[in-house]
Amino acid sequence: MARKLTKSRLAVKTVLIFVWILLSIYSTSILVGKLAQEYFLKEENVNIFSNSFTNNSSNTTTSLELNIISESLFFILLFLGNRLFFHVKIKIATRRFAWGLIYVLPLGIFLIGNVIQALNTLINKQIDQNKIILALVFSVIVGIAEEFAFRGLILGNLLTYHKKSLFYYFSAILIQGFFFGGLHLVNLDRQTFSVTFTQIIYASAIGIIFGVVYEKSGSIVITILAHALIDGLAFIADPTAIMKKSLETLPSSTYVVMAGILLFIIAYEALTILLANKAKMDKIWQ
């Protein structure tokens, strides 16, 4: 039934899925935040939303635990929304799984810095092992939830269109990538627009790569693992990053660099998708 939808109806459905994603994020974060706030106010007289709490590195464990709960509830809402309303088929793995590992290689642009910082942290600083474990668990859950939302639901929904050209495959990846980048506007409540804008560009570029991988391999497992790896390395490099409030204003040169990376990734996508074998693409997404 979904494959017979017109482009306009698919567009409406895509927007509705994105709205569901936003509502799921806000509802779970508000619920977990309020319950935790009540607990801390009652037991320790601490407000978890105050700067004195979020800027204290000793509270990293608590923040990670709360975010694990929030992301788990977020995934549950996404799963229920898909089962009840959207009915988008999520592709777990196909015979082209190995090819997906090749298409994920451009992520090296983003991983190099994280790997160096993570190794530096592990070598030169003492980090609580429990915090590392929690950070890794959180990274996996974020990978599962966000990949289910954007590659699974949004991109998967767009690919149910029954008259897909190579340009349509290309456009679908761009759309879900920019949706993924736009999601990071929710961070405006804890950092400057300057920092948030660079995150949007960064996330859009990564989302495009993940879109290429999902389209070419038909496996969401690869994008989940890659997503978890990026976040896991970032949290190991700086375990307090998840709750830092950044008031920093970035130099204009940062925008130029990030824009250059985004254009490079779009060019990579164009070469990978527009020159692809359409018959093989259709076989995966028929």
Q: What is the pLDDT of residue 56?
A: 55
Distances (CA, A) of 265 to 177, 211, 217: 11, 11, 18
Rounded Cα distance between 88 and 1, Å, is 11
- In sign, the C-alpha dihedral spanning 92, 97, 99, 101 is positive
Q: What is the pLDDT of residue 213?
A: 96
Reported confidence tier of residue 1, pLDDT bands at 50, 70, 90? very low
Please report, to the nearest 10 degrees, the dihedral formed by the alpha carbons of residues 208, 29, 73, 211 taken in order.
0
Q: What is the pLDDT of residue 274?
A: 97
Identity of residue 269? E
pLDDT digits (tens, 9 = 90+) for 126-141: 777 888 888 899 999 9
Q: What is the pLDDT of residue 181?
A: 96
H or E element at residue 184: none
Rounded Cα distance between 217 and 96, Å, is 5
pTM over 0.85? The answer is yes
Rounded Cα distance between 18 and 223, Å, is 19
